[in-house]
């Protein structure tokens, strides 16, 4: 089979697409792999915060259109960027083994969050990160930050920010882990749902293709992704909502923890649940219901104002 991979043009997206291509080339069913780099609306609009222009789904649409128009067979995504509802006719056919799900701080003076001077400016475009930063350091200023990883690092190096927060997995994939000052533990900063997971999307009626892609699927990654995304789905969250969710598989159990916060970190709900790893979607839904019972919808509604 010949496979065409739709991907964004950023360095990280191309790394991810090439990583998937390298795995596919190991399979006997594959004859050739072609990358189809595309520019998305999310890549083009860099002067406005994501929550004002439609969220991270803007990084996805053009890739799905390419598949629908038979210009590509699959799309490679960072699963944390995927909207919780997959369009009709599409499916996630494989989730690769999860890399680090955690967030990392990169500071100009190699200072950890607790060590930054009062009034320091931290760059982040995520309300989730902003809320949890301000929960720890309410005296810090969080300023919106857009662009690819290297663009964000350049802005830090040119002293527009004292520190920035990025996903550790992205830095590791680009060989930039040496820039990391501090990696946040889950008790300080819960990650975005499915952060660190690469997903492969295709049309749901491509049975032969789906069977091939299933060989790349990692069961633990699929289970944690299911649990985390089901929390966000039932909270009716977008990729920019101030929600953090993290699940782990331990033996036969799945443990899911989630956080809902006001953008300034002053109102924060946090809860966790544990159950059988074969019931991850139900566990996520149950956890979301508990958060809603405790006022999560009120916090999230006010976050959108």
| Beta strands 163-167; 121-123: pairing state | parallel
Task: Output the pLDDT for position 95.
Answer: 98
What mean pLDDT, rounded, does the chain reach? Answer: 92
pLDDT surpasses 50 at 50: no
Task: Output the pLDDT for position 133.
Answer: 97
Task: Output the pLDDT for position 238.
Answer: 76
Task: Output the pLDDT for position 244.
Answer: 96
Mean pLDDT of the region 149-154: 95
- Active-site residue 81, yes or no? yes
pLDDT surpasses 90 at 56: no
Closest by CA to 222, choosing from 95, 122, 37, 119, is: 95
Q: Could you tell me what percent of the chain has a pLDDT over 90?
A: 87
In this prediction, residue 57 has a pLDDT band, given cuts at 50, 70 and 90, of low
Specify whether the backbone of 119 is left (phi greater than 0), alpha (psi in -120 to 50) or beta. left
Q: Indicate the range of 9-23, 49-63, 134-148, 289-303 predicted with least confidence.
A: 49-63
* Cα four-point dihedral sign 79, 84, 88, 92: positive
pLDDT surpasses 90 at 48: no
Domains along the sequence of the chain with CATH: 2-98+197-217 (3.40.190.10), 103-183 (3.40.190.10), 232-303 (3.30.160.40)
Say which residues have a Cβ less than 8 Å from residue 170's Cβ, sequence separation at least 6. Answer: 12, 78, 149
Half-sphere exposure of 287 (CA within 13 A, CB side): 33
Task: Output the pLDDT for position 207.
Answer: 97
Q: Which two tokens stand for residue 221?
A: 């990654």
pLDDT surpasses 60 at 286: yes
Q: What is the CA radius of gyration of the chain?
A: 19
The CA distance from 52 to 48, in Å, is 7
pLDDT surpasses 60 at 86: yes
Task: Output the pLDDT for position 239.
Answer: 67
In this prediction, residue 305 has a pLDDT band, given cuts at 50, 70 and 90, of low
pLDDT surpasses 50 at 53: no
Say which residues have a Cβ less than 8 Å from residue 266's Cβ, sequence separation at least 6. Answer: 134, 138
Task: Output the pLDDT for position 45.
Answer: 47
Task: Output the pLDDT for position 58.
Answer: 67
pLDDT surpasses 50 at 54: no
The active-site residue, picked from 2, 43, 47, 81, is 81
Render pLDDT for 95-147 as a digit per residue (tens, 0 to 9). 999 999 999 999 999 999 999 999 999 999 899 999 999 999 999 999 999 89
Neighbours of 211 (CB within 10 A): 11
Mean pLDDT of the region 178-192: 96
Contact between 230 and 284 (Cβ < 8 Å): yes
Q: Which two tokens stand for residue 71?
A: 């210009």
The four Cα atoms 21, 24, 25, 26 give a dihedral, to 10 degrees, of: 140
């Amino acid at each position: 089979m010949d496979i065409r991979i739709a991907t964004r043009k950023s360095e990280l997206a191309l790394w991810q697409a090439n990583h998937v291509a390298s795995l596919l080339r190991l399979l006997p069913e594959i004859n050739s792999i072609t990358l189809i780099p595309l520019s998305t609306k999310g890549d083009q609009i860099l002067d406005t915060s994501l929550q004002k222009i439609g969220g991270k789904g803007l990084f996805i649409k053009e890739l799905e259109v390419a598949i629908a128009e038979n210009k590509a067979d699959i799309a490679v995504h960072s699963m944390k960027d995927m909207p919780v509802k997959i369009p009709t006719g599409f499916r996630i056919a494989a989730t690769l083994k999860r890399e680090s799900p955690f967030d990392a701080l990169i500071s100009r003076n190699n200072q950890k969050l607790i060590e930054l001077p009062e009034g320091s400016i931290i760059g982040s475009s995520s309300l989730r990160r902003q809320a949890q930063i301000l929960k720890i350091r309410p005296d810090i200023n969080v300023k919106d930050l857009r662009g690819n990883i290297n663009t964000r690092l350049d802005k830090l190096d040119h002293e527009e920010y004292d520190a920035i927060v990025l996903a550790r997995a992205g830095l590791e994939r680009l060989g930039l882990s040496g820039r990391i000052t501090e990696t946040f533990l889950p008790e300080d900063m819960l990650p975005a749902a499915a952060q660190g997971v690469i997903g492969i999307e295709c049309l749901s009626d491509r049975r032969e293709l789906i069977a091939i892609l299933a060989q790349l699927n990692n069961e633990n990654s699929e289970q944690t992704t299911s649990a985390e995304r089901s929390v966000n789905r039932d909270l009716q969250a977008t990729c920019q909502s101030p929600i953090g969710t993290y699940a782990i598989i331990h033996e036969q159990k799945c443990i899911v923890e989630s956080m809902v916060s006001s953008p300034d970190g002053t109102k924060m709900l946090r809860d966790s649940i544990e159950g059988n790893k074969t019931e991850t979607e139900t566990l996520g839904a149950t956890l979301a219901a508990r958060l809603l019972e405790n006022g999560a919808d009120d916090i999230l509604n006010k976050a959108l104002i």
